[in-house]
Structure 1
Amino acid sequence: MQTHEIRERFTQHFVNAGHTAVPSASLILDDPNLLFVNAGMVPFKPYFLGQQTPPFETATSIQKCVRTLDIEEVGITTRHNTFFQMAGNFSFGNYFKEGAIKHAWSLLTNSVEDGGYGFDPERLWVTVYLDDDEAADIWHKQIGIPAERIQRLGMADNYWSMGVPGPCGPCSEIYYDRGPEHGKDGGPEADDNRYLEIWNLVFMQNERGEGIGKDNFEILGPLPKQNIDTGMGVERIACLLQGVDNVYETDLLRPVIDTAEKLTGATYGSNDQDNIRFRVIADHSRTGMMLILDGVTPGNEGRGYILRRLLRRIIRSARLLGAQGATMEAFMNTIMDTMTPSYPEIADSRERILAVAVNEEKAFLNTLESGTKLFEDAAAEAKSAGKTTIAGDEAFTLHDTYGFPIDLTLEMAAEAGLKVDEEGFHSLMAEQKARAKADSQAKKHGHADLTIYREWVDQNPTEFVGYDNLEAEARVLGLISGGEKKTTVGQGDEVEVILDVTPMYAEAGGQLGDRGLIRAVGALLNVTDVQKIGKKLWVHKAVVQEGQLGLEAVTASVDKQWRHAARQAHTGTHLIHAALRQVLGPTAVQAGSMNKPGYLRFDFNYTEALTPEQLHQIEQITNQAVDNDWAVNTFETTLAEAKAMGAMALFGENYGNEVRLVEIGGPFSMELCGGTHVAHSSQIGPVAVLGESSVGSGVRRIEAYSGLDSFSYLSKERALAAGLAASLKAPSEELPDRIAALTEKLKAAEKEVERMRRAQLVAQSLKYVESAQDVNGFHVIAVQLPAGIEAGELRGIATEMRGQIANKDAVIVLGAESAGKAPYIVAATKSAIARGVKSGDLVKLIGQYVDGRGGGKPDMAQGAGSNIAGLQAGFEAVKKELESL
């Protein structure tokens, strides 16, 4: 049974049982505790936490999940995956233990002809929590499982919570006996390799308190309602129904391994080390592809860093298996082919996914060259020092800075006849992980407490009338000040006002919330921001300017100038997006935006800086759309119909079945958007593109002004150009050529000054050579040069001096003061090195006196410190060291 059919059978089973089918949420949710969705219940957290009332009593979903805590462990075993699909059914106060158990059992054991999976009931075992007699009785008396196949386990195994205070409860896990060839008898408690867990039924009935770990917390008491949260591992079910040993042999991942065999010439199954590399390629290709699908791009922190690590581990593993050239395109195409039946949206993003992954491969291959050079330097220094081991800190630098995993460094070291201080490396890795774990633990309690808003979210969602009206009569439903509900607020109070009707737009889709006023009899409030809670409730953040306000009738009005300029900027963002795709192609898609009155910025996925010509094209196409005076049409439609019409949607955004479509100029621009817009494109006014920049790996940003702000900017630019033209006595159209000519003259003058300066330094170096001291038979030049000489110049002077006395046992020690620092250098001739001089050691010695660090090779090494006054003492220490040789 193929994986996509396993998914379909699960969904249909629960839909037939009256559950609402909920689509998988994006892997990226606005949650302070999570980089990625890591469990099937995560999208339902507001319901389990009591922050919102669910719109259904029962639901089912197949949620895509990513867990990346143990990336380094992937491939070592066949059970660990970074991406997995969690099929689940949920009950919010409807059925409880009996219903959950019966639903799961019938799907697992019903025949394939009847819509089930057809598992042999005799091979299924279950575990329950220690004192959960109720669940044990249901399994034994109602389902008919013999008592000897029901095992009781403790809190660490069979008690679930989210790891933070909140809902929790005992659980019951279902296991499949894979047979004696996979391990010993005795059920799950004896061997969890033979007895494979396939489904976990969580009976969410209690509230937990503070604590750390799976079993170190207090049970505070029962929840108001008993809930069900279950999770069935789609990949594990696929292994069993496809008759394969592990997930890497299933229809989703085995094709990637086959592709890797073709590209590398290696064979899966030939040895353990290669097997790990094949599994890394298969697992990370799928996870990386799914992350890119949901809008993640490679970067140096957060989600982007995780994606970068995954992609680079693929590249490295392929090279270690024998691949010579690029491999990413082949891996990505293969995994997209296997996953598209389950996720049809992959087809629409195929070109973009390939572009992101392939560009990261190109970048890393360049990085590999830099890292390889660093490794070769470290290996050469170790050999010249008579060492057989590369230091752990150097291996860690290769890993942390250049993305070299330890196994790649180990292999390169072995080829060079060296070993690596693995203990030192792993010690540094452990320190890094401890810091990351502490940081993660510190963030775990970051749940925003939204329960204060719940009664309004549930009963009185705000009616937004601001698309058509800038003023509305409303009633105050609630007041919150200082984190507490109030019945009245007075002058000077900062307050959150909840209205039943509002014309004010709440911040969303990159558009800032409206500004405006709330008036009542004898009261005036200045609204400074509007935010949404639970997508249903508008919260007006305001300051009471006059009088007192209670739960009464009011008039809410939008600042007309603010709204007009905000609409100009927001609609201008749509035009910029459309123009950008015309110039750069369909892979340049939105990665974020922000617009406020008169200003907009637009982030998009793209791996190269834009040329001036491309920016000019984007600006020209945008303003041509403004001049076309197209009607801006907005209408409600279904998500399916909007996508069929070609509407653009944002990654990571969860849309309902009904969506709002904004169309400008027919096919020119068609996007799903809930923002406010002008009625005709001409009302945007001129759009002035300020420029573009990088905001992260693979993400660029365009900034622009709109409306009167654009006019003001262009007016200032014109005045500046006129001033330059007057100063240079040239027409404005000749300014670029005249400025370019002046710049070239300046550069030539600077080069001449630099040449003369260097010539003086070289001439001066001859005097220093003549004044060299004899120290234990060494020709020693130790000089603090004039202030202002930089590290690069020191190197040139030292090289020049060494060349003049290359036939002697000479050591050159130079230092200077530059920008508040003390750069220094040590250089040695070949004969001095033969007598035991190591420039790198001498540089480290100087560092003790100038509070600095440095290093290098025996013939030349450099460093820099912060204590300039210590240079002379450092020079004397070098002389004493030479006397001891």
Structure 2
Amino acid sequence: MKNLGLNEIRKEFLEFFREKEHNIIKSFPLIPMDDDSLLLINAGMAPLKKYFTGELKMPGNRAASSQRCIRTADIDSVGITQRHGTFFEMLGNFSFGNYFKEDAITWAWEFLTERMEIPEEILWVSVYEEDEEAYSIWKDKIGVPEDRIVRLGKADNFWELEEGPCGPCSEIHVDRGVENGCGDPNCKPGCDCDRFLEVWNLVFTQFNKDADGTYTPLKHPNIDTGMGLERITMVMENADNIFEINLVKDIIHKIEEISGVQYKTDSKKDISIRIIADHVRAMTFLVYDGIIPSNEGRGYVLRRIIRRASRHGKLLGIKDNFLPEVVDKVMEIYNMEYPELLEDKERITKIISSEESKFQETIDQGLSILEDLIDDAKKANHDYIKSEDAFKLYDTYGFPIDLTVEILKENSLNVNLDEFKNLLEEQRERSRSSRQSGNVGWANEKNDYLINLKESNFVGYDNTYAKSKVDMILKEGALVDSLLAGEEGIIVTETTPFYGEGGGQIGDTGIIKSKTSLIDVFDTKKNKNNGIYHFVSVKEGKINVGDDVELQVDVDRRRDITKNHTATHLLHKALRDVLGNHVHQAGSYVGPDRLRFDITHFETISKEDLLKVQNIVNEAISRALPVEKQNMTLKESEEYGAVGLFEDKYKDIVRVVSIGDKFSVELCGGCHVENIAEIQMLKIVSESSVAAGVRRIEAITGRKVYEVLKEDENLLNELSDELKSEKKDLTSKVKDMHLELKALEKELAKLEEKDSLKGSDDILKHVQETSGIKFIAHKVNDMSVDNLRALGDNLKDKLQSGVVVLANISGDKINFLSAVSKDLAGKTISAGNVVKEVAKITGGNGGGRPDFAMAGGKDIDKVDEALSSVKSIIESLIK
């Protein structure tokens, strides 16, 4: 066999099929394109479905690729077994109605035996038991001895779904030797032992399976093959498993270097090292492909992988962030095929480091609480922890439920996940209920009349006034014939210029008039069919079903809304220009007074970058670019370069809003200005976090900016008068005052500390002793944390050898402090353990170093009991 590593094998494979006139396709991103059936790409053929179905054509109708893939179904087995991984590359060659079995089999054999120089005698093949054609090709054309061709049933050698294209397959196996087998002299492919390693699966898609189970031959059968790159590398390097191929070994060496733990010296730590080595490759490519950590979908897969790797780093004794260092190693060793990783290094490492840091903030506290729950369960001889406790860990401390389950499993414990899901749903329902409006709560998506409402004739893009007829009136959820003065309800008309809330843009307001009534429209909404309905309050007269009416939108309000809506498109473009193409819209609100724009981004946006974004938008506004709206097919919009929300389900015909010469092109059903000069100006007023991986920007435009500038000017004038300083000198004036204040605060702190230490001699009069250890347990009131620390250190020094425990009560808060002298700390007793047990008595928790630790408490009534327990706690903790 040739001595080739993973990168060399990939190169050889692609070159081999280039010579066989295949189109060599670079790996697609891990995010499926135009395929809602997949969360992530999990096989080489997954991105090529449209070529197999004939929707897309390729020159020569044949291709080959090395496709990066993610599979998380067996994530809990990664690291524990030596063959499961979340990240891998799949080598594959494909025929879209071009060649079939004979060529696929011949080329596979040629590549393995001639290019890879694998001895023929260690190769076995399996075929579907009814596939005589494949059996004959292997036996008569390739010359594989009959005793090395194994017939297997549907479960092993037939690929199919419930219905659709399907067919038999043939697998090539490598005999790894009897020493890896089960001992059965008749052992062969199909056995569950480790002797025969399946390296290449050739799928012959030759049938279409109907819903009734009928198999109809396809006119143009296809070939879909898959060979795991890591698996064939195992064979070529004679490695025992996927973690011991040289490329992964290089990653493991980096983990060894960071952790100080040597691989294959401790079976438990080996699991952690393998998990990190696998997960760090997965996270690198997931982030490169535009995924950022979040609480759902692809983002949650990434978040789980990062947090799982980070936690196993802790199990290896790594205290600080370490994943970016290992990611750097991944980029280095994959540089041959993926040089773009290094080009995007800063963004990738920033996202991973940011997520690891966030997890570090919650992990320690969560682990401490979970350890207590585990201890309590074991003491009570339970094999579980309560679902309520697991939910509190998740809801209050942000501790992932999958991590809870994993740690419980390591301790032979479990939790009822069904109960956990019920608690989660109850919380979501409470959240939804709290958002329901009072007066029109009945007018939600559960109202059948509104659900079934057909599409309205909306004329509001070009008009703010229209005439129509009343089709339907609802009052408190029921159909009625009329509404009287003083009553509220919903009115549906055949035609309307009122925009129904959607795409982040709020609904229009205005008036409806008939010969007998004057009606205030205070909101407008629409259903999924684009049926528009108006929330109304009758001011005068009576409105009836069938009445002719005039509908007038509040023009000034609509104008302000359109300014803000078009501004969100400008903002989106500017944010992508400044922060990168990973930025995507994650939600928006467009009202008359402000706009809110949520984006996918992994860290706080700096003031400098926000200013750059604001300048780009205002520079565009100053160029008075026209805004064009046009309808086209979804495919035409893609070719035109339109951007749309990934989650949106668009119709065949979509509305595209373009600003200037493609400065911004987006799919959008909202209302917009004719020229962006109408926006006048944009000012960003805030940037904040909505959720992990999602940032929120709020901004104002037009008249609102002018109002804010006037307010700012007035404020500056007031400050200037108050501080008796010119406006240009205000900054230096405030700095001087701040320095003076800091000096006064410092002096005051010294006086307070001195005052707090006055009573230390009195406290020392109450020294107690147990088991030869002196200790102080004392209560104080209303001390700052710094002064409490100073008093603890002072008492410890005066005590010389012993333990100090202080309880500080300030309002309804309790702080505990424990300090242990140097001769005892960590040798005889630990301050962290002492304060933890003391705080527990008041329902609190905490911990810290062997010589100094702090904790919080909850029940003030139990502080005296906690201090009285110090003696027994010391006795129980003495080593």
Shorter chain as denominator, the TM-score bin is 0.5 to 0.7
User: Structure 2 counterpart of 1:510, which letter?
Assistant: G
Give CA-to-partner distance per residue, 1:14-41, whole Å, 9 cap, x none: xxxxxxxxx9666889xxxx998999xx
User: Structure 2 counterpart of 1:878, which letter?
Assistant: V
Aligned to 1:466: 460
Aligned to 1:124: 128
User: Structure 1 counterpart of 2:761, which letter?
Assistant: L
Which whole-Å CA distance do the structure 2 matches of 1:241 and 1:834 have between them?
A: 50
Which whole-Å CA distance do the structure 1 matches of 2:522 and 2:507 have between them?
A: 10
Deviates more, 1:188-197 or 1:296-305: 188-197
Which residues of 2 match residues 500-649 of structure 1 at below 5 A?
A: 501-517=495-511, 524=519, 526=521, 528-533=523-528, 536-543=529-536, 545=538, 547=542, 549-550=544-545, 555-581=550-576, 583-584=578-579, 590-636=585-631, 648-649=643-644
In structure 2, the CA distance between the partners of 1:402 and 1:531, relative to structure 1 (3 Å rule), is: closer
In structure 2, the CA distance between the partners of 1:637 and 1:707, relative to structure 1 (3 Å rule), is: same
Structure 1 position 564, deviation (Å): 0.8
| Structure 1 residue matching 2:758: 3-state secondary structure | helix
User: Structure 1 counterpart of 2:415, which letter?
Assistant: E
Structure 1 position 789, deviation (Å): 1.4
Q: Find the partner of 2:782 among 781, 784, 788.
A: 788
Give CA-to-partner distance per residue, 1:186-239, whole Å, 9 cap, x none: 999999999999899999989xxxxxxxxxxxxxxxxxxx9x9x9xxx998424
Q: Find the partner of 1:71 among 46, 68, 75.
A: 75
Structure 1 position 784, deviation (Å): 1.6
| Structure 1 residue matching 2:523: 3-state secondary structure | strand
Which residues of 2 match residues 728-877 of structure 1 at below 5 A?
A: 728-770=723-765, 772-773=767-768, 778-785=773-780, 787-806=781-800, 809-830=801-822, 837-847=829-839, 849-877=841-869
TM (normalized to structure 1)? 0.62
Aligned to 2:60: none
Which residues of 2 match residues 476-515 of structure 1 at below 5 A?
A: 486=479, 488=481, 490=483, 492=487, 494-495=489-490, 497=492, 499=494, 501-515=495-509
Which whole-Å CA distance do the structure 2 matches of 1:873 and 1:303 have between them?
A: 50
In structure 2, the CA distance between the partners of 1:241 and 1:451, relative to structure 1 (3 Å rule), is: farther
In structure 2, the CA distance between the partners of 1:487 and 1:405, relative to structure 1 (3 Å rule), is: closer
Aligned to 1:718: 713
Query: Are the aligned partners of 2:657 and 2:667 in contact in 1 as well (CA < 8 Å)?
Result: yes
Structure 1 position 817, deviation (Å): 0.6
In structure 2, the CA distance between the partners of 1:873 and 1:197, relative to structure 1 (3 Å rule), is: farther
Which whole-Å CA distance do the structure 2 matches of 1:437 and 1:494 have between them?
A: 37
User: Structure 1 counterpart of 2:659, which letter?
Assistant: I
Which whole-Å CA distance do the structure 1 matches of 2:596 and 2:700 have between them?
A: 9
Structure 1 position 83, deviation (Å): 10
Which residues of 2 match residues 698-713 of structure 1 at below 5 A?
A: 698-713=693-708
Which whole-Å CA distance do the structure 2 matches of 1:530 and 1:741 have between them?
A: 54
| Structure 1 residue matching 2:498: 3-state secondary structure | coil
Query: Are the aligned partners of 1:151 and 1:189 in contact in 2 as well (CA < 8 Å)?
Result: no
User: Structure 1 counterpart of 2:327, which letter?
Assistant: M
Q: Which runs of 5+ in 1 are unaligned?
A: 10-22, 40-56, 88-103, 127-147, 161-167, 207-225, 341-346, 379-391, 410-420
| Structure 1 residue matching 2:629: 3-state secondary structure | strand
Query: Are the aligned partners of 1:356 and 1:607 in contact in 2 as well (CA < 8 Å)?
Result: no
Query: Are the aligned partners of 1:825 and 1:861 in contact in 2 as well (CA < 8 Å)?
Result: yes
User: Structure 2 counterpart of 1:328, which letter?
Assistant: V
Residue 297 in structure 1 maps to residue 254 in structure 2: no
Query: Are the aligned partners of 1:28 and 1:36 in contact in 2 as well (CA < 8 Å)?
Result: no
Structure 1 position 359, deviation (Å): 1.0
In structure 2, the CA distance between the partners of 1:67 and 1:240, relative to structure 1 (3 Å rule), is: closer
Aligned to 2:415: 431
Give CA-to-partner distance per residue, 1:760-810, whole Å, 9 cap, x none: 22233234335535667554433222x21144432331122211231xx43
Residue 238 in structure 1 maps to residue 226 in structure 2: yes
Aligned to 1:358: 349
Structure 1 position 568, deviation (Å): 0.9
In structure 2, the CA distance between the partners of 1:798 and 1:526, relative to structure 1 (3 Å rule), is: same
Which whole-Å CA distance do the structure 1 matches of 2:550 and 2:366 have between them?
A: 70
Structure 1 position 175, deviation (Å): 6.9
Query: Are the aligned partners of 2:574 and 2:613 in contact in 1 as well (CA < 8 Å)?
Result: yes
Structure 1 position 443, deviation (Å): 11
Aligned to 1:222: none
Deviates more, 1:650-659 or 1:698-707: 650-659
Which whole-Å CA distance do the structure 2 matches of 1:482 and 1:296 have between them?
A: 44
Which whole-Å CA distance do the structure 2 matches of 1:504 and 1:727 have between them?
A: 49
User: Structure 2 counterpart of 1:526, which letter?
Assistant: V
Which residues of 2 match residues 662-673 of structure 1 at below 5 A?
A: 662-666=657-661, 668-673=663-668
| Structure 1 residue matching 2:293: 3-state secondary structure | coil
| Structure 1 residue matching 2:596: 3-state secondary structure | strand
| Structure 2 residue matching 1:873: 3-state secondary structure | helix
In structure 2, the CA distance between the partners of 1:64 and 1:537, relative to structure 1 (3 Å rule), is: farther
User: Structure 2 counterpart of 1:358, which letter?
Assistant: T
Query: Are the aligned partners of 1:351 and 1:587 in contact in 2 as well (CA < 8 Å)?
Result: no
In structure 2, the CA distance between the partners of 1:170 and 1:613, relative to structure 1 (3 Å rule), is: closer
In structure 2, the CA distance between the partners of 1:330 and 1:677, relative to structure 1 (3 Å rule), is: farther
Query: Are the aligned partners of 2:332 and 2:342 in contact in 1 as well (CA < 8 Å)?
Result: no
User: Structure 2 counterpart of 1:763, which letter?
Assistant: K
Q: Find the partner of 1:680 among 666, 675, 684.
A: 675
Give CA-to-partner distance per residue, 1:618-642, whole Å, 9 cap, x none: 4344334334333223334566766
Structure 1 position 506, deviation (Å): 3.8
User: Structure 1 counterpart of 2:683, which letter?
Assistant: A
User: Structure 2 counterpart of 1:238, which letter?
Assistant: G
User: Structure 2 counterpart of 1:728, which letter?
Assistant: L
Count how many residue pairs are aligned between Structure 1 and Structure 2. 736
Structure 1 position 704, deviation (Å): 1.2
Which residues of 2 match residues 399-478 of structure 1 at below 5 A?
A: 426-427=410-411, 430-431=414-415, 438=422, 461-474=455-468
Aligned to 2:325: 326
Query: Are the aligned partners of 1:84 and 1:235 in contact in 2 as well (CA < 8 Å)?
Result: no
User: Structure 2 counterpart of 1:734, which letter?
Assistant: D
User: Structure 1 counterpart of 2:530, which letter?
Assistant: L
Which whole-Å CA distance do the structure 2 matches of 1:331 and 1:616 have between them?
A: 35
Which whole-Å CA distance do the structure 1 matches of 2:826 and 2:342 have between them?
A: 59
Which whole-Å CA distance do the structure 2 matches of 1:352 and 1:558 have between them?
A: 51
- Identical aligned pairs, as a percentage? 24
Which residues of 2 match residues 157-306 of structure 1 at below 5 A?
A: 237-239=225-227, 260-261=248-249, 264=252, 285=281, 289=285, 293=289, 296-299=291-294, 304-306=299-301
Which whole-Å CA distance do the structure 2 matches of 1:191 and 1:402 have between them?
A: 41
Give CA-to-partner distance per residue, 1:712-755, whole Å, 9 cap, x none: 22222222222222211222222222222222221221111111
Which whole-Å CA distance do the structure 2 matches of 1:279 and 1:301 have between them?
A: 22
Q: Which runs of 5+ in 2 are unaligned?
A: 1-12, 22-30, 44-52, 58-66, 110-123, 131-150, 256-262, 370-383, 433-443
Which whole-Å CA distance do the structure 1 matches of 2:510 and 2:336 have between them?
A: 52
Structure 1 position 540, deviation (Å): 2.1
Deviates more, 1:368-377 or 1:696-705: 368-377
